[in-house]
Structure 1
């Protein structure tokens, strides 16, 4: 069995050189629509679309016989997680997909693992956290204490829902709760349908609970407790190949200044200057996450 490493953040189709390949696609960090970075000297976190691009390449290359989704992620944004999960399901309908939860496969990352043909988790990994969370911050009491006044001009009763500058009304809270309830119900159905679980049983094991890999096995959330090689062996078995070429694909770009192109450096410098001129860039009052 040959093992190769192919770090790639470009989105290029690099699945083209080997037959009987088991592709290891590494899902690391928070799942988001736009990805993230730590500035010129920081690291890089791929967007959901970059992972989807790697999965798409694996799906459409005849040399790739199976995929192992190696997961080290706590989850992330609702829509980004759903997009990634749908892509995993699409790939699994064409060729075997095995999910391997190494350290953590929770919330949206577990959602992405669910449509795999088989899920392997390390014994003491963290699995589950099936739920939805909405984070809101309120600063109005602090503003009152330090003498800051704010004025909001709006058209539409709920246009400033979630504003940190005033208390939330009961009506607004119910509106937001109805949104999270809908998303939670869809998450439950996704798990039940793809894992072949009873819907009531799925509700019981959900509720945002975190499990170790061994506990998740007992709860029916994973198929086996094991190590990475077990996931590779299972993928090979499902693909009916005996001596695969194992190739690792990492969507992360090289971290730090010396891993960046001149375009990246200019972008980061400009972005930093822009953030300094307008600190409200990307300010969010409501964030929904799996």
Structure 2
């Protein structure tokens, strides 16, 4: 009875309930994962001066701020002779990925940079790896996925069933393009396709230039498929098969470091549980807003 008398309130209750449940679940997992990672790496962070800096890119690439800060810090430190970019990421936002890529290009002009791939370094993760002077992957690393994706959920039929009719007042023909409350028009689909194609061309061009590969060769590989590290090496998408230690040894050789190779990790921010939870919730809300509102797009 409530659903029939108050369809709009019923719809809001359902959406809010589902979103809140997902938010709490994802937030709990994310915070727990953060503490597990911190516990794992806390024992290997060196308190003594070292000669190889390690910049970690873990999880979705949502922000470039911390990574760029770490790159600049190691680049300006005369004691650091080489940098390892440790990637374990499925990709992420286009803007942040491009910002990291540009910063790596600047950095490798001054110091040797080697990318070390973990379990996955795909899409945006592969994009930033290309900016290194060498890429090391495990045989089973999942990489590639060179492409751009744009998607959204069409809730039009659900809205009709519960009696919700959208009211739109807009300043231009395409201002509500991508609204989840209606189908895309053919002209709108073409505009979005042109956008995706342009972003994809940027991805292919940057990756090809950084890898010293012909653009048409990279373009043939850039159909969105994923590759294992072993296959990626055969296709010249990565340079060597190996683990983190192999990447460190290679970086030391390229930089001409004599003696012991000592890794230096950026100082971890002292962060409280409450602050960590708040940041995680903010990211979840931001992601949820993008998913429920307009298109989600990126190097994913």
State the TM-score bracket (shorter-chain normalisation): 0.7 to 0.9
- Give the counterpart of 1:23 among 21, 45, 53: 53
Determine the structure 2 residue equivalent to 1:177: 193
Residue aligned with 1:105, SS: strand
Determine the structure 2 residue equivalent to 1:289: 298
1:246 counterpart = 2:272:
no
Matches within 5 A, 1:1-290: 4-5=44-45, 18=49, 21-32=51-62, 47-242=63-258, 243-249=260-266, 259-260=271-272, 264=275, 268=278, 284-290=293-299
Identify the structure with the greater helix proportion.
2
Q: Structure 1 residue 283: deviation in Å?
A: 5.1
Q: 1:165 to 1:102 in 2, by over 3 A?
A: same
Q: Aligned equivalents of 1:250 and 1:131: distance in 2?
A: 34
Q: 1:280 to 1:133 in 2, by over 3 A?
A: closer
Q: 1:209 to 1:261 in 2, by over 3 A?
A: closer
Q: Structure 1 residue 177: deviation in Å?
A: 0.6
TM-score by length of 2: 0.78
Deviation string 1:113-136 (CA, Å, 9 cap, x unpaired) is 101111000110101110000121
Conserved? CA contact 1:119–1:223, under 8 Å: yes
Q: Aligned equivalents of 2:267 and 2:54: distance in 1?
A: 8
Q: 1:78 to 1:5 in 2, by over 3 A?
A: same
Deviation string 1:222-271 (CA, Å, 9 cap, x unpaired) is 000111111000000011013221123376x67xxxx5177x38x939x7
Q: 1:282 to 1:200 in 2, by over 3 A?
A: closer
TM-score by length of 1: 0.80
Q: 1:54 to 1:284 in 2, by over 3 A?
A: farther
Q: Structure 1 residue 4: deviation in Å?
A: 4.4
Q: Aligned equivalents of 1:100 and 1:175: distance in 2?
A: 37
Q: Aligned equivalents of 1:180 and 1:280: distance in 2?
A: 21
Residue aligned with 1:64, SS: coil
Q: Structure 1 residue 149: deviation in Å?
A: 1.7
Residue aligned with 1:119, SS: strand
Q: Structure 1 residue 48: deviation in Å?
A: 1.3
Q: Structure 1 residue 31: deviation in Å?
A: 0.4
- Count of residues paired in the alignment: 251
Larger relative contact order (CA 8 Å, sep ≥ 6) = 1
Q: Over aligned residue pairs, what C-alpha RMSD do you find? A: 2.4
Determine the structure 1 residue equivalent to 2:6: none
